[in-house]
Amino acid sequence: MSESLPMTMAQKILAAHAGRESVQVGELIDVRVDFVLANDITAPIAIREFAKLGVDHVFDRERIALVPDHFTPNKDIKSAEQVKLMREFAHQQGIVHYWEIGRVGIEHALLPEQGLVLPGDVVVGADSHTCTYGAVGAFATGMGSTDIAVAMAMGRIWMRVPETIKFIYRGKLRPWVGGKDLILYTIGLIGVDGALYKAMEFTGPTIEELSMDGRFTMANMAIEAGAKAGLFAVDAKTEAYVAERAQRPYTSYFSDPEAEYGQVIEIDASTIELQVAFPHLPSNTRPLSQVDHIEIDQVVIGSCTNGRWSDLLQAAKILRGRKVHPNVRCIVIPGTQQIYLRAVREGLAEIFIEAGAVLSTPTCGPCLGGHMGVLAAGERCVSTTNRNFVGRMGHVESEVYLAGPAVAAASAVLGYIGGPDQL
């Protein structure tokens, strides 16, 4: 195959990590990985499988992260045992990137913040939302715990080269509309399997103007369209974000102008309203203007999707001087300890508490119905998280409505699903 074969960004990253000049869609390749991660739900399974491999040491103790973020602070004996197993393995193996309570954050907010995942990397994680790191120009994807055990041992994986769908967004975003609305609209457009085992490449003038936090949100939810990865080209914003954090050198890759895409989808972003995904699929989206009066019981603002600084700032602008509706429980969860501390220093914590919200230590907790906000039968929640499957946040008869922080915060005040313009 010729070195001049046009390739997408995804193909270029995978080719470089397979030691190849080029790769073609559909090829099964042996790929070197730059970083491996697992959490307190998935790591124990991977650790037990690792023990069966007969390998004494992980491939690189500085290229693995074990992040206890789902059931922490430990909610019960079982979760405590899960984290204990992780802790002992991390200490035994000398794994550098393991964080205890007080230092840990939600993994997909924490690792970019720490400069551990970088442009041009291949990142694999035992968590489906590992695709978040595509925001910095990495090929990042979730895998099963058994595969992660092998990756921890060998630093390599087998992967089939995915086709890429290119999304081009044009137009100026409306007030309050952000990355969450863009990705919910896109998933609603193509469906939860619209990008099945494909890479989603997000491009266009709208994306160039989008903040890094907005890009993380979009990449995070690529999996909700079935995608293998969601990628953004490295630009000045990416470089500025990475420059002050990177702990090692990196290489950026860019799609060739002549690269072949499975599909190219153009979207006029100026027409996109604030979005709400109704139960029980992220693709069941509606513009806010088409949402009837739906009373709610709970609001969650946080998670690996929308627990970053700009998300909390947007929510605080709405909650400042207002009160959470007496029938609503509002839970705010910063993505990392740094974000939490900034919220305290810059007065956001005071705004949330005075409004009648709960400000939690970083945790995935309520997103997966783990703790810190589990729903009872018949309860409805507006959440800035990424999934609203049946029983996702608690009882199978509860309902989860996905939205961005603006809709979530406004709904907390209104007592029903609504936006800032209704306050």
Q: DSSP secondary structure string, 267-333?
A: EEGGG---EEEPTT-TT-EEEGGG----B-SEEEE-HHHH-SHHHHHHHHHHHTT----TT-EEEE-
Structure tokens at 241: 């974000």
As for how many domains the chain has, the answer is 2
Q: How many C-beta atoms surround the C-beta of residue 19 within 10 A?
A: 10
Beta strands in 205-273 (DSSP E): 229-232, 263-268
Give the chain's end-to-end CA distance (angstroms, integer): 60
Query: 125: helix, coil or strand?
Result: strand
Give me the phi and psi of 300, to 5 degrees please. Answer: -120, 125
In a domain, 288, yes or no: yes
Q: Are 317 and 168 contained in the same domain?
A: no
In a domain, 46, yes or no: yes
Q: Are 17 and 48 contained in the same domain?
A: yes
* Domain's final residue, options 239, 266, 293: 266
Structure tokens at 163: 């086709």
Q: What's the CA gap between 129 and 229, in Å, rounded?
A: 9
Q: Are 224 and 372 contained in the same domain?
A: no
Blockwise average pLDDT, block size 10, the chain, 423 residues: 78 97 96 96 95 94 95 92 96 96 94 97 96 98 95 96 98 97 98 95 98 98 97 97 93 96 97 97 96 97 97 98 98 97 97 97 90 95 95 95 98 98 93
Q: Are 251 and 334 contained in the same domain?
A: no
Identify the burial level of 191 via C-beta atoms within 10 angstroms of its C-beta, where 0-12 means exposed, 13-18 middle and 19 or more buried: middle
Q: Is 285 within 8 Å of 188 (Cβ atoms)?
A: yes
Q: Are 261 and 301 contained in the same domain?
A: no
Q: Are 260 and 301 contained in the same domain?
A: no
Element of type H or E holding 49: helix 43-52
Residue at 238: amino acid letter: T
Q: What's the CA gap between 201 and 279, in Å, rounded?
A: 27
Q: Are 57 and 189 contained in the same domain?
A: yes
Q: What's the CA gap between 307 and 11, in Å, rounded?
A: 31
Of 34, 24, 59, which Cα lies nearest the Cα of 140?
Answer: 34
Structure tokens at 373: 């906000």
Structure tokens at 1: 């195959």
* Domain's final residue, options 266, 284, 300: 266
- Residue 89 sits in a domain whose CATH number is 3.30.499.10
Question: Per 3-state DSSP, what percentage of the chain is helix, strand, and coil (rounded to 5)?
Answer: 35, 20, 45
In a domain, 315, yes or no: yes
pTM comes to 0.95
Q: What's the CA gap between 111 and 136, in Å, rounded?
A: 11
Structure tokens at 71: 């059931």
Beta strands in 101-162 (DSSP E): 122-125, 139-142, 156-160
* Domain's final residue, options 244, 266, 288: 266
In a domain, 2, yes or no: no
In a domain, 3, yes or no: no
Beta strands in 161-243 (DSSP E): 163-170, 198-203, 229-232
Q: What's the CA gap between 350 and 303, in Å, rounded?
A: 20
Q: Are 260 and 144 contained in the same domain?
A: yes
Q: If you ran DSSP here, which 8-state letter would residue 162 be given? A: P
Q: Are 21 and 57 contained in the same domain?
A: yes
The answer for residues whose C-beta is within 8 angstroms of residue 80's C-beta and 6 or more apart is 74
Q: Is 9 within 8 Å of 16 (Cβ atoms)?
A: no
Q: What's the CA gap between 135 and 120, in Å, rounded?
A: 11
Q: What is the pLDDT of residue 4?
A: 65
Query: 124: helix, coil or strand?
Result: strand
Domain with 123, as residue range(s), is 9-266
Structure tokens at 123: 């990142």
Q: How far is CA 34 from CA 135, 141, 204, 222, in A?
A: 16, 12, 28, 21
Q: If you ran DSSP here, which 8-state letter would residue 417 be given? A: S
Beta strands in 34-103 (DSSP E): 35-39, 64-67, 97-98
In a domain, 45, yes or no: yes
In a domain, 31, yes or no: yes
Beta strands in 310-410 (DSSP E): 329-332, 358-359, 380-383, 399-402
Q: Are 36 and 71 contained in the same domain?
A: yes
In a domain, 4, yes or no: no
Q: Are 155 and 252 contained in the same domain?
A: yes
Q: Are 280 and 226 contained in the same domain?
A: no
Element of type H or E holding 338: helix 337-345
